[in-house]
A and B are shown apart, each in its own frame.
Chain A
């Protein structure tokens, strides 16, 4: 495959509600920062791809206005996925393989504050048999957490430990929303919100945006001192119905990691898109991340979870470690759908 690297990354601070800025206003400075940092003039970027969800904004074609934030004149080669921005990055990476364009801008945004995110995500389910029951994300995740606990692989304490570590790590992330030092025992003393999930097991509700610039080969080397080279990227989906999957593991993550060429060599950093504490436990085992890997140093989705952007933020964060010289090999993961239905794995390395 053609060598492609992440050469710049920018994100907005995740907040509970961006009450005074619409999506375009959130995106504009983020896109500008990513493009400026890339050193590639906007008009020379060969392809643009974005990820967003109409239902978050409550309007059709919510991505159309976003074109105003990215400078689409003269007209640009552009595409959009109704998926997390990590899949927009995948489409851009594919497009760069053709060889006729050398750079791409990828962005994603989501304002969960505009509606009820649990109602919105309930509409992702089978429209005839499931959605009419309005199963919310937390209840579905709780079923999965219960299955994991009953497998005896992990305890509620293990889950709480993920929350403690994530929110402590997030203290060094200026864009995180939920940060701080929490004691394990005080977290475990809290009541269930949907057994066995407590509040700390769940992600915050966030508004935010992210942008990444990709460049191929010599262009990446020219514009970036330490490009984060994408050595492999792959994504896989599972059937949606919870009854036909083993919820205690993530077969699609395992397969995507294998296809992305993770192999046996360790990664220094893994940014896992794990909105719930038990997701991280499942993903660590499925992907095969060993004890020496720094997991979610950004705090992950438990510290900031702008839906549709959170997966692409994982790629940006994992790339940033390489671009800053703090890591040689990193892994980023993104997920979509109820209970880790669809998963993407991206392996990046320094030169």
Chain B
């Protein structure tokens, strides 16, 4: 049986378009140092290090875990590097948790980062591969048709995306680490912003960010001696499906549904909307909030947008979604998934600061990547799982 595992340390950098005050090593070390501080541990207390990031072309460093080994105190320790596309931050946390759940290690440091300013993600995402059609439009151009299909299926009003963007950007004002702080943001400002990839407007899309996020994951014994409250992992799962084949539903992918069903089953959740207090969901383009609400079973099919319009997902709603401001407010790509997992942990630890949701005991962290085909999720809670 898998052993219990808990988050006992969370560290984040301030996210920004350019962290030119820090090298790549400096960025990961800043997040890792803060996670260790939260856990009241030193580098020598760590048994293994798991690093995650999105494609190496985003910085131009091949397998950067090799170069980052000493910056992360990994010398003489096991070190791994996970890469599962946009879901990688989540997958990385899950691989790190897996080491504890397998009973191999007491305390594992996991770090995910992206320093987008070192290179150009749009270039990196648009290679000319023989016999493959290039996207030539980055992620927005790829996902916009999926969103249009969602709108066509659901008959959602046109302003749903704007409402999501407004909510997340207002939430970001409560999060000191968020990249975009826009106190002047209004519905009209988003509505009037340039259309980038119809229906995605400029203010409905995520920024390009530099930054890193780190977690310390611990066994039951280590969690019980941690100074701050642990966030217990109640369920964890990954799912993948191929990017392209006839009949594939790219709007509501089966891999996402299967992954959610798996974590809910592990965590004993039968009614996610009722039993989950807060969710950090990977929403890089505003419309993905209602789309994932359906995929994750928070809403019935084609009704996810209603939870946006009726305020359910707002900061003081029944299911606050992305109280941190989400990917729409900070997007160091490789870290974005881990930030979702970290924010979920902060909420159930009662350590989210100004964006703390009252009485949050069970939270979801969600990440997706590739062509909506890689999924990583976890459910964390303030109470130790019953089986443990």
A residues lining the B interface (CB < 8 Å): 1, 48, 53-55, 58-61, 63-65, 67-68, 72-83, 87, 90-91, 94-95, 97-100, 120-121, 123-128, 131, 234-241, 244, 251-252, 255, 336-338, 341-342
Contacts and interface: CB of A to CB of B under 8 A. Distances in A.
B338 interface: no
Contact of B243 (A67, A81, A234, A236): A67
Interface centre among B60, B66, B103, B254 (most CB of A within 10 A): B66
B187 interface: no
Contact of A59 (B59, B67, B129): B129
Interface in B72-128: 74-85, 91, 94-95, 98-99, 101-104, 118, 124-125, 127
A77 B63 contact: no
Contact of B238 (A65, A78, A251, A338): A78
7 contacts: A55-B62, A67-B243, A79-B91, A81-B82, A127-B61, A240-B70, A336-B63
A67 B240 contact: yes
Given A55-B57, A94-B104, A124-B66, A60 B124 contact: yes
B84 A124 contact: no
Nearest to B248: A73
B78 A235 contact: yes
Given A72-B242, A125-B67, A60 B62 contact: no
Given A55-B57, A72-B240, A252-B76, A82 B70 contact: no
Contacts of B64: 127
A90 B56 CA distance: 22
B57 A60 contact: yes
Given A240-B66, A342-B79, A78 B240 contact: yes
A329 B378 CA distance: 39
B55 A61 contact: yes
Nearest to A244: B70
Contact of B241 (A55, A67, A251): A67
Contact of B1 (A59, A79, A99): A99
Interface of B: 1-2, 23-24, 54-67, 69-70, 74-85, 91, 94-95, 98-99, 101-104, 118, 124-125, 127, 129, 237-243, 245, 253-255, 258-259, 370-371, 373-374
Contacts of A75: 239-241, 253-255, 258-259
B233 to A, nearest CB: 12
Contact of B61 (A123, A241, A341): A123
Closest 9 CB pairs of A and B: A60-B55, A97-B102, A75-B255, A239-B70, A78-B240, A82-B83, A98-B2, A123-B62, A337-B66
B59 A127 contact: yes
B66 A341 contact: yes
Nearest to B70: A239
Contacts of B259: 75
B62 A238 contact: no
Contact of B70 (A53, A234, A241): A241
Contacts of B60: 123, 127
Given A75-B259, A237-B79, 5 more contacts: A78-B84, A78-B239, A91-B95, A98-B101, A251-B76
B258 A124 contact: no
B337 to A, nearest CB: 13
B238 A79 contact: yes
B214 to A, nearest CB: 17
Nearest to B134: A59
Nearest to A91: B95
A99 B2 contact: yes
Contacts of B103: 1, 97
Nearest to B1: A99
Given A53-B63, A95-B98, A127-B67, A80 B127 contact: no
B251 to A, nearest CB: 15
B83 A81 contact: yes
Contacts of B102: 94-95, 97-98
Contacts of A238: 69, 75-76
A64 B370 contact: yes
A53 B66 CA distance: 13
A236 B241 contact: no
B238 to A, nearest CB: 6
B39 to A, nearest CB: 22
Contacts of B75: 237-239
Nearest to A234: B78
Nearest to A83: B81
B69 A239 contact: yes
A311 B169 CA distance: 46
Given A94-B99, A342-B66, A76 B239 contact: yes
Contacts of A241: 70
A58 B62 CA distance: 11
A67 B242 contact: yes
A252 B76 CA distance: 6
Contacts of B98: 91, 94-95, 98
Nearest to A252: B76
B178 to A, nearest CB: 26
Contacts of B54: 60
A80 B241 contact: no
B95 A83 contact: no
Contacts of B62: 53, 55, 120-121, 123-124
A73 B242 contact: yes
A72 B99 CA distance: 24
B85 A54 contact: no
